[in-house]
C-alpha cells in the first residue's frame, strides 16, 4: 500500500538539502558544458532530466507531497501565456542589469558564453531544455515546496531556493554570474510562488536560455572570417 503521509518538517528539510546537494553533485560528475563535447552534453542532459523527473515522481508517488504544492498540473493555455509574460519580464530585467553593470566593466564570462554558443542549434536547444527542466524541478518545485513545509514561510523558502540557485551558477561562470543568475531566478521564484505552475517557469527559463544562446551564436557567426 502506498504511503501518502505528508513529510514532517524535519523530513521536508532533509529532502530539500539532499535534493540540492544531490543535483549539484550530479552536475559536477560531468565535464563543464563549456568544455564538453556534443555527445557528453547529450548524456549529461538525459541524466539530469531523468534524475529530476524521477525525483518529482518519487515525491508525489511515495513522498506524500501533493502535485499542487510542487506546481505539477496539466498544461493549459494560461500556462503558456503566463510563461511568455514571465519570459518577457525576465528578459527586460536581465537586460537592464546587464547594461547597467556593463558601465562598470562587469559582464558575463565571454569565454563560457562563446563556448556554449559555438555548438550546433540542436545542442543549444538541448542545453536550454536541460537547464529549464532540471533546474526548475529542483530549485523551484522541490526546494520551495519542501522548504515551505520545513519553515512554514513561503517567502523564506523562496529566498533560500533563490540563493542556492544563484550560487550554483558561480562554478562554471565565475562569481559575477551569481548576480546575473539571481535576476531571472527572482522572477521565476515570484511566478512560482504566485501561480504555482511549474510549466510557466520551465517555459520562461527555456526561452531565456535558448534565445540568449542562439543570439550569442548568431553574433559569433557574424564575426567569423
Cα-Cα-Cα-Cα dihedral sign, residues 92, 192, 175, 169: negative
Domain segments of the chain: what residues? 9-223
Task: Give the residue-averaged pLDDT of 45-50.
Answer: 97
* Angstrom distance (rounded) from CA 167 to CA 20: 11
Give per-residue pLDDT as tens, 14-29: 999 999 999 999 999 9
- List the helix and strand counts (H, then E) for the chain: 11, 0
> Which pLDDT score is estimated for 4?
66
Q: What is the pTM of this model?
A: 0.93
- Kindly report the backbone phi and psi dihedral angles of residue 34, in degrees, each rounded to the nearest multiple of 5, phi listed first: -65, -25
Give per-residue pLDDT as tens, 139-189: 999 999 999 999 999 999 999 999 999 998 876 666 777 888 999 999 999
Query: How is residue 3 written as a grid cell?
Result: 504511503
CA distances from 207 to 29, 128, 130, 140, 142 (A): 26, 8, 12, 17, 21
For 121, counting Cβ atoms within 10 Å of its Cβ (0-12 exposed, 13-18 middle, 19+ buried), the class is exposed
Which residue bears the cell 536547444? 125
Query: How is residue 190 written as a grid cell?
Result: 515570484
Give per-residue pLDDT as tens, 123-152: 999 999 999 999 999 999 999 999 999 999
Whether the pLDDT of residue 2 is over 80: the answer is no
Amino acid at each position: 500500500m502506498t504511503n501518502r503521509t505528508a513529510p514532517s518538517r524535519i523530513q521536508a528539510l532533509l529532502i530539500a538539502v539532499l535534493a540540492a546537494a544531490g543535483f549539484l553533485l550530479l552536475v559536477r560528475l560531468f565535464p563543464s558544458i563549456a568544455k564538453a563535447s556534443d555527445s557528453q552534453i547529450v548524456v549529461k542532459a538525459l541524466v539530469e532530466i531523468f534524475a529530476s523527473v524521477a525525483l518529482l515522481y518519487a515525491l508525489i508517488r511515495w513522498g506524500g507531497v501533493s502535485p499542487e504544492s510542487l506546481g505539477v498540473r496539466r498544461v493549459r493555455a494560461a500556462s503558456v501565456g503566463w510563461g511568455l509574460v514571465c519570459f518577457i519580464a525576465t528578459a527586460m530585467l536581465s537586460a537592464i542589469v546587464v547594461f547597467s553593470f556593463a558601465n562598470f566593466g562587469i559582464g558575463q564570462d565571454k569565454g563560457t558564453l562563446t563556448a556554449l554558443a559555438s555548438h550546433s542549434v540542436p545542442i543549444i536547444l538541448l542545453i536550454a531544455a536541460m537547464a529549464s527542466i532540471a533546474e526548475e524541478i529542483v530549485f523551484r518545485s522541490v526546494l520551495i515546496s519542501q522548504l515551505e513545509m520545513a519553515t512554514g514561510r513561503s517567502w523564506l523558502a523562496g529566498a533560500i531556493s533563490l540563493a542556492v540557485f544563484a550560487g550554483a551558477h558561480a562554478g562554471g561562470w565565475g562569481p559575477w554570474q551569481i548576480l546575473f543568475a539571481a535576476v531571472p531566478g527572482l522572477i521565476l521564484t515570484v511566478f512560482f510562488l504566485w501561480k504555482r505552475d511549474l510549466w510557466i517557469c520551465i517555459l520562461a527559463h527555456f526561452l531565456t536560455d535558448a534565445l540568449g544562446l542562439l543570439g550569442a551564436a548568431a553574433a559569433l557567426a557574424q564575426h567569423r572570417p
